[in-house]
Amino acid sequence: MNTDAKTAAERVFRQESGRILAGLIRFSGSFDRAEEAMQEAFSAALASWPEKGIPQNPAAWITAIANRKLIDQSRREKTRQEKQDSLRYETTASSYSDSGETDETSMHFPDDRLRLIFTCCHPALRWEAQVALTLKTLGGLTVAEIAKAFLISEPTVAQRIVRAKRKIEEAGIPYEVPAGDRLPERLASVQAVIYLIFNEGYIATAGDHLIRTDLCAEAIRLARVLCELLPREPENTGLLALMLLHDSRRDARVNPAGELVPLEEQDRSLWHAGQIYEGLRLVEHALRAGAIGPYQLQAAIAAVHAEAKTSRDTDWRQIAALYQELSRRHPSAVVSLNHAVAVAMSQGLEQGLKLIDQLGDTAGLKSYYLYHAARADILRRMGRQDEALQEYERTLALTTNAVEQRYLRRRIAELTSSARRSNF
């Protein structure tokens, strides 16, 4: 197979599959048919492009072929709906030749991704199913990646996705962005979906790369769309600010050797000043609205980190206070863990470790790798090397990302070497 054609197809899938699939679902009214048509179109590309060349607009080519396959399927089954979208199918199909070539200059495919998010987040679906389905369909995440984000099993996620698709079709849930008076009931789930997509890009669940910039960029783009749609909703602004401030550090988080660089060791000259400036401005604007929510508080925490010129300048007391407020308004075990770390950095390592240990006993975090990572880091700072080494090993056993694994092995090697030297 032609390597260039395969690379082009993989790039289109990585960058455009969400957009293509969203449009196909709108045309077909079926998640499963749209996914099948897109998969067949990519298979056709892998067969055609090595011989005939890569089209000028590969994404449009894929979309056109997938649309034609939907038409053919509809004709075979004789279930094509008599509605305007059927006419759009026929219009699109008429521009194809038998060879599958397209008049790409005349093809304009609408962006239906926001429509898809709100359909997936319909109140008739359970919240967990809403998020899982949208991550799978729009974000392109695998079932394993979604399961990691939810800290649940893969079969559970797969069942949620299947049931959600069935519910949408059986209940006739409309494929639309809801009217203004119905938007709030969907908004929290939409925000959660976008942030989970960003988090998967920011720290990839598995693989050889820590960061998936395509997912981060997609989440930021979707957050901008939300802000345009609901400009007076401060949580949308807070969410966008939070992601911009985190994403601003992307080039400093991995060194040229591909190794993870923790926040306190990062070269802050590599942080993206433009994103930081926009993020800080958005945080201030959101907080002035007076309707404080979790994304705004998290963005405020990220802003404190962004404003510190060096790691020593970080105002950990302010961060601890913000986490405490976040925990009061929206309690969760992970927020409490972050608060405990901030306490350790601002009020004393012993006090922070005590809070972390209490969480391990009461909040069910002992299977969460960042719980053990937090304990390991604090124990290392306290000079309790043997205990820190055990915690790093526990963290490593629970970590699936290759970059994080290499970082943890380096820490383990450093502690092991230090322990050997101290024994002489």
Q: How far is CA 299 from the centre of its chain?
A: 16
Residue 83 scores a pLDDT above 70: no
Give the three-state DSSP class for 5: helix
Q: pTM for the complete prediction?
A: 0.73
- What is the pLDDT, as a whole number, of residue 76? 78
- What is the pLDDT, as a whole number, of residue 62? 94
- Helices in 29-95 by DSSP H: which ranges? 31-52, 58-77, 84-93
Given pLDDT bands bounded at 50, 70 and 90, which one contains residue 351?
A: very high
287-321 tens-digit pLDDT: 998 889 999 999 999 999 999 999 999 999 999 99
- What is the pLDDT, as a whole number, of residue 149? 67
> Pseudo-torsion of CA 57, 62, 63, 69, nearest 10°?
150
- 307 φ, ψ to 5°? -80, -15
Given pLDDT bands bounded at 50, 70 and 90, which one contains residue 155?
A: very high
The Cα-based distances of 243 to 195, 217, 262, 415 in angstroms read: 8, 9, 18, 34
How high is the mean pLDDT of the chain?
85
- What is the pLDDT, as a whole number, of residue 261? 93
- 291 φ, ψ to 5°? -115, 80
* Helix then strand then coil, % of the chain, to nearest 5: 75, 0, 25
CA–CA gap between residue 242 and residue 56 (Å, rounded): 36
Residue 107 scores a pLDDT above 50: no
Q: Answer yes or no: are the C-beta atoms of 416 and 389 closer than 8 Å.
A: yes
Given pLDDT bands bounded at 50, 70 and 90, which one contains residue 103?
A: very low
Residues whose CB is less than 8 angstroms from the CB of residue 113 and which lie 6 or more positions away in sequence, other chains included: 18, 19, 22, 138, 222, 225
Residue 79 scores a pLDDT above 80: no
Residue 335 scores a pLDDT above 70: yes
Residue 30 scores a pLDDT above 60: yes
Residue 419 scores a pLDDT above 70: no
247-296 tens-digit pLDDT: 999 999 988 888 889 999 999 999 999 999 999 999 999 999 888 999 99
In order, the DSSP letters of 319-365 are HHHHHHHHHHHS--HHHHHHHHHHHHHHH-HHHHHHHHHHHHHHS--
| Higher per-residue confidence, 217 vs 148 | 217
11-27 tens-digit pLDDT: 888 778 888 998 999 88
Nearest to 200 by CA among 128, 160, 143, 129: 143
